[in-house]
Structures are given as C-alpha cells and as structure tokens.
Chain A
Amino acid sequence: MVTEKLKRFLRIYDEFNYKTILLFNREKILYTHGIPVEFRNFKFYYEQYENCVIRDFPSDARVSFHHEIAVLWIKEKFDENYGLHLKLLNLFLENTRLQKRENIYFQMIQEIGDVMEMGVLFLDEHNKKIYENKVSKHIELEKLINEKQISINSTNTGIDEVSKKHLTYKIFRKAFTSTNGNFFYAKKIENSQPIIDKTEIRKSVVENTIIGQNSKLIEVLDTIDKIATIDSTVLIRGESGVGKEQFAKLIHDKSHRANQPFVAVNCASIPENLLESELFGYEKGSFTGALKSGKIGKFEAANNGTLFLDEIGDMSLNLQAKILRVLQEKVIEKVGGIKPIKVDVRIISATHQNLEDMIKKKEFRKDLFYRLNVIPIYIPPLRERTDDIENIIHYYIKKHCIINNKPFKIPSKEVINILKRYRWPGNIRELMNIVEYIVSTEEKEIITTQTLPREILNQTIDEKREIYINTKRNKYSNKSRKPNKQELIHLLDEFGYSSENKKQLAEFLGISLATLYRWLKKYDIT
C-alpha cells in the first residue's frame, strides 16, 4: 500500500518536473510517470532492495527505498542521461549474481544496456559472455578485447584505447568483486575531450593584473575591447603611477599584433641625446662610443608589433618632428644612416602632462598631438576608485607574502577603511610599495593600523581635522549637540579604538579626551 508519506513524495517529484518516476513493490509497479516502454516490462523481485546503498547518484536521479516500496526517479529524460546509465549499471551489477539471470538487477542491466549508445558487455568470472547490447555486437567489442589482449584480471578498473576500421574506441573496464565478472563499455574516441595540458597558463596574462570593477575603469576596459583590433594610435592619459604601461600591454595583447613584439620606451628616463639612437638605432661608427656593429632601434625591434612611448611629453621638439615623420611615412632612418627602413608599428603613447597646455606654450607639436591622439584613453586615479581598493590590497598582500616567503596575513577592517580614505597621490605604484612595506614589517597575522606608514596616518589625521574645521555647521561642533551612542560607535569605527585614535576623535569632536572617556563609559562602549 502506498503510504501517505510516499504519496507526498510522489506529488513533490511530479511537481519538480522529474521526467521519469517509477514506484514499485514486490508485486507490481504502483506508479509510473514518463517511463520508457521497455521499462514497463520489468518483473520486480523484492528480496534485495534493502541491500542497496545509493549515495553516489547524479543529482538528477535517485532510487529511494521506503520499507516495502522502491522509487526510481530521474530528473532528465532517461535516454539522455549517460552518466546515470553507468551508475545504474554499476549499482545493479554490484547487487546481482550474474549466474541467476532471473534476478531483477540483471533484468535492469539488460533494459538499460539496450538503450545505451555505447557498447556494453559483461563477462562472468570465466570470461563467458553474459550480456551485450546491440552496439557491442556491432563494433564486435568482445573480439576487440580478445584481439587486443586487454588484461581483464589485473586490477579493478582499466582503460584502453583500441582502433578498428579507422575508428578509435576507449574501452573502460570494471571488475566486480561480488560476481568476479567484468563489465566493459566502449565509447568512440571522437566524443572524448582531449586532455588540455595548460602549459599556456604559465604564460603571463596582463589582464589578470588589472583589478577593478569601478565604473570608470570598466569604461576604459570596454574602450580597449573596442579599439584593440584596429591599428590607430592611442594616447593614454592619467596621473603618475596609474599603470599606463599595463593598459598599453593590454591593448597589444588584445590586438592582432599580440604574437609580435611589445616594446616600451620611457622617454623621460633616457637622456635626450641618446633617445634618438635608442628609438631609431644607428649605423656602425656613427658616433664616439657607438657599437662597432651598429644597433637597431626600438622602432625596428617593435616591427609588426606595438611600440609604447611613455612620458611622450618629455620628448624634445626635434625628436617630436622625427616621430611625426615615422607616423606619416612609416619609415625610419637610423642615426648616421641614409637608407630609409620601412616599419609597421602601432604606436601607443602615454603622458601624465597636460599636452594641450604644452601646445599653447609651444613645447609640444600640435600636429603630432593629433596624430598620437586618435584614440584618447584616460585612466582614472586610484582615489576615484575607492570601491576597488580593498580587492587590490588583498591582491598585492598575497603577492608580497609569496615573494617574501611569509605566512599570509590579513588587513584589519580599520586598515582597509584608512587606506580607502587615503588620497593615493602615487596611485597603484604607491599602493604596491605600501603593501610591500606592510607585509615586510608586520609580524602578526592581522595587519593593524600600527604598521601603516606615518604619511598615511598623518594624512588621515590632517583630513579629519580639515573636515572638522571646514564644516562649521558640523552637527557636533555645537557643543550642546552630543553624538548619541550609535553615532559615537560609528565615529569610533571610523577613527579606531586605540588610545591614539580616541585622542584624534576627541580633537575632532572639540572635546577633551576625558570627556570622551566619560561618554564612552556612560554609553557602555568598550
């Protein structure tokens, strides 16, 4: 008899869109839903249900045993769930004695095997065929196993690849201790996913080093996605330390030039008289101290790839004219050379300077500016991306702990709050340096404000003071207006709980430290 509880399950399974449900007891099938026709022919035997342990079914299928009633329920359409077939076969094999072919599980094996798209074959302990499906017959799986001398007794499981008539099969084998028999299934190799050895993941990926989901940054990344594949020049603007070279490399990596060289030159770091030969190269014997063999320049080195000219604003007017010529004519001339050399280079330049002002002051060529600035990209400073700061800090803490072979440590919430408020004049570069400093000096697992460099703490204190002074209408500046408990806790969270922090808070509130302590006591804040 179907119990109330089982009825409830069935309703649930039905509602959950299980496509196949079968409920049976020792006498008959009690309920079916979406059962393939061949399943309806089952004769069920009850005696072994209780021995089944079914824990490792796919999430989409399950057999439940409730006292005298068994339920088989399957989420997917039965003939599509290949993994389920195998699990059912394994399950039934473990519970059957193959010699007794009337056993329910053996019948189930046949039913399932018949609908499978791969070859299924069972041999008993004497390697005598007990069952094979149509596919196995078709591909002559038994013959394949004998011919290829696939070992069937050495281990519990095995896997072999055999070829026949231009087709390769992967043959899986499982031995069953309960039966001493062997179960084979063969799958055409074309269906299998080759092992992808990810040696390429050892390759550097610049995209992984640009952390952030601030809307201003996303805009930049979207623009890069759009313009990477065209060959126009790009001018990257932004404050010092925002990582302009990283973005230039990203554009290169996403372009069709990705497999060609990416060459970066910092125009500010090379003395002016050397920059020309650095960029264009020189012929042998061009000047005193020159290499005898001559030298190729960065333009040639970057041929077919990308040349990144950082700090372009620091380039002399004389050299600006030469760069303009390359852009117009796509040829270079080496220092001391007379033969023009054709180059195919995409130029990405960058500067933190105000080129428009420099043009007005005649320090930068207007025509070159227009040539370089076909696609302008502006990288926002870090202080405009406060929502990204915590993730970036964690990213660099991990890096420096690894480099310095130190145990991983975690910044306190207070540290994160202070670093989020800091102005970051040196941007990402400064953040990297500060994290490196913190990781090297903090010995404990938790990074506290005590480890933060003084300039950061000082700026925070200054800022707080400034806020206080500038906001005369600040609600706390009126001495009659005391912060309530919740406000005081918020302020403490902002300033911190150390005695130094409390001193700063008292100063901020325009009260004495003693008064602050009195309030804390009154509100029972520890």
Chain B
Amino acid sequence: MKKIDKSNLKALLIGSQFLGSGGGGKVHLIKQIIDNYFDNEFSVDLIGLDELSIDEYGAAVGVVGSPEVIEEYMPTGKEGKSLLKKLSASTGNKIRTLFTVEGAGINLIYPLVVAYTTGLPIIDGDTMGRAFPEMQMTTFQFNNIKITPVIFQDVENNYHVYNNEDASYIDLNIRQKIAQINGLAFFTGYQALHKVLKSILIPNTYTFAINIGEAFIKSNTYDELLKNLKIVTKNSLYGTSIELVRGQINNINDMDNANISSYVIGDYNIYFHNENLMIFKNKKIIGSVPDLITIIDLERLKPINVTDIHVGQNVAIIGTPAPLQLRTPTALSVIGPKSFGFKSIYESLEKIYFQYYYHY
C-alpha cells in the first residue's frame, strides 16, 4: 500500500492543479492546513482499486461551493468525521475507505485531511478524472448509480440531507441553500460497495497527480517539463500531453456569454467557466472538454488557475486527452461541450492531432 505524506504532498498539490484544467480551487490553502496544523507524522494510506476487498463500503468526502473562502472556515477533518458518522448511521453500513469525487484541485487534497483525522485509507481513484463544477458530472451518473444519501454541513454548522434526489437537483439545491452563507459546504455521500467502486472509479488518480507534480518539480526549463509531462501522461489512461500554443495573453473577456469567459493568445481563443473548456484557433476547435486544457505560467513553470491569469502573462496551453471513461456517448451527454452551453460536439485531441498520436 502506498502512502501520501509530507514527502509527496508538494508534488500532489502541483499535479492536482494541473488536472484542475484551470479550475479546482486554491489547493495551496489546504496544503497550508496540513503543513501548519498536522505534524510531520502526517500520513494517509493510499489503497489501489485492485487492493480493495469486495463487500465493504467506501464513501466520498469533499467541498462544494466557493473554495476561495475556505481559509475563513479552515477545515480540520472533524467536520468530515462527523458527516461520515451521520452517513454511516443513516445507511447502517460501516465505511472502510474514503475517496474523492473530483480528481483535481482542492477536492483532491481535502479528503486527505478527513482521512488523516478518521484513520481511514484513501482510494487511489475518483469519479471525474479531472475538475468539473457540478455534482452530477461523475462516473456515478454515467453508470446510473445514485449518489444519495448525501449530507452537507454548511459553514454555520447546519446539516442538509438528501436521501433520494437526483444528483443535478442536489447540486442546484445545495448551492441555493448555501449562497447566502458564503457559498461553502463540506459533504459526504456517494457511498458504494467496493465491488462497484472497482468498476466505476477512474483509477490511479493520486498516483497520477503525484507523478505529474514530480515532472514539474524535477524540470528546470520548460522544454524539460514538456518532455517529462509527456512521459507521465503517455503512460496513463489519459494520453500524451500536447502543447497547443505558447504565447502572451493579449486579452481577457469576462462573461462573453452567460457564464462563459475567455482569453486570447494571438489567433487562439480559450473559453472557460470554472475550468478551461474549449480552445479555438482561427475559430476552429483545437481542444475541447472533457480533454484537459491546462495553463502553465512560463515564468514560474507552474500550472495555474484561470483566476490567476492576467494580460501580458507568458503562458503555455497544454492539452491532455481525457480517459475513455469520460468519452462514451453517455459520459459526453453529461460533461461534453454541450453540457456547458457550447453548440459544438466533442473533438478529441487524438482526432485533431491524429498524426502526432498514432503515426510514425
């Protein structure tokens, strides 16, 4: 069994930001909690999907809403512990393992705090394979598996329980409920037998994020970084990363349409909501959700969020193919470009750059 501790936390953090595709929240805040409030013994067991027993239960813990305000409500893991206790009591099942819904950003790091507090191991897998903004955008939904019961704890310590509702309803409803109180809540739910989790979770999330982070840490130049990133991504269920464009951000347009904003690099337009969603070159698609579109700040050689970009910044935009689980027609109906209001259909990076991926 692998472990996550302070020795690989930095790499995990960088990797989680890369997988966030420009979104996923401010991960460093959670790391600071771990750095500051847990001693050097901090260590969480990471359990692979193949290592899971069949007939025990795992459950997800996470954060919804506005992670920007999380520093005002520093989680300690105790909130997660009490939520899990409530979940267990409501279903009558003992929870043996934890997992994350979102395979990126703050939700990749926060469950470690709960895992450490409860002593439960974390499953090396997730339900999104990257960052997505809504609770139904998961492999549970693609496989028609209910996520309830889900229990939320808002920042004023109120509990909100959903027992049999649809995931997209829960997403809308909880956001309405917490909008007035800083828009942040901790939750648990998505409880399922390990047997089910083995077949629906996207595997190796933490290991993959750590490998990506290590590629950043060991690279001194951008060229080195690109080379190391390609090796890590190629040997995964994702696919080789590809540099889509490198250049200076010329312009940022807030709210082009509904919730969509964009930024411009020469002839390239990148559209984002919480995450980067589509990239066009001369009005043609050269990358689209669910494939990952990541921004790298060339001066700091770090992946950054869309909230961290500014005009005049030198960046590289990296595309990474999404795993197959995110590409089936059912999955695309939940997380494809149309789910975010685009009229285009998904065009995979491997199709757009077929020669780069398959010919020699």
Residues of chain A touching chain B, judged by Cβ–Cβ distance below 8 Å, are 9, 12, 15-16, 55-59, 64, 82-83, 86-87, 157, 159, 170, 172, 185, 187, 192-198, 201-209, 211-213, 246, 249, 388, 390-391, 394-395, 397-399, 402, 407-410, 412-413, 445-446, 485-486, 489-490, 493
Contact = CB atoms under 8 A, between A and B. Distances in A.
Nearest to B25: A59
B350 interface: yes
A193 B199 contact: no
Nearest to B356: A201
A197 B245 CA distance: 6
Interface of B: 26, 28, 32, 36, 53-55, 68, 71-72, 74, 195, 198-199, 230, 234-237, 239-240, 242-248, 250-251, 253, 265-268, 298, 304-305, 307-315, 321, 323-325, 327-330, 348, 350-351, 353-360
Contact of B350 (A15, A159, A201, A398): A398
9 contacts: A159-B311, A192-B314, A203-B355, A204-B355, A398-B327, A402-B351, A407-B329, A410-B324, A489-B195
Contacts of B234: 208, 211
Contacts of A56: 307
Contact of B360 (A246, A395, A445): A246
Nearest to B243: A198
Contacts, number: 158
B353 A399 contact: no
A116 B195 CA distance: 58
A58 B32 contact: no
B311 A172 contact: yes
A58 B307 contact: yes
A409 B247 contact: no
A187 B248 CA distance: 12
Nearest to A444: B328
B245 A196 contact: yes
Contacts of B359: 204, 209
Contacts of A205: 356, 360
B155 to A, nearest CB: 12
B358 A399 contact: yes
A290 to B, nearest CB: 33
Contacts of A213: 235
B270 to A, nearest CB: 13
A219 B268 CA distance: 40
Contacts of B315: 193
A399 B351 CA distance: 8
A162 to B, nearest CB: 15
Which one of A83, A213, A398 has the highest number of Cβ atoms from chain B below 10 Å of its Cβ?
A398
Contacts of A195: 245-248, 265-268
Given A204-B360, A391-B237, A398 B324 contact: yes
A493 B356 contact: no
A195 B315 CA distance: 10
Contacts of B28: 59
B323 to A, nearest CB: 7
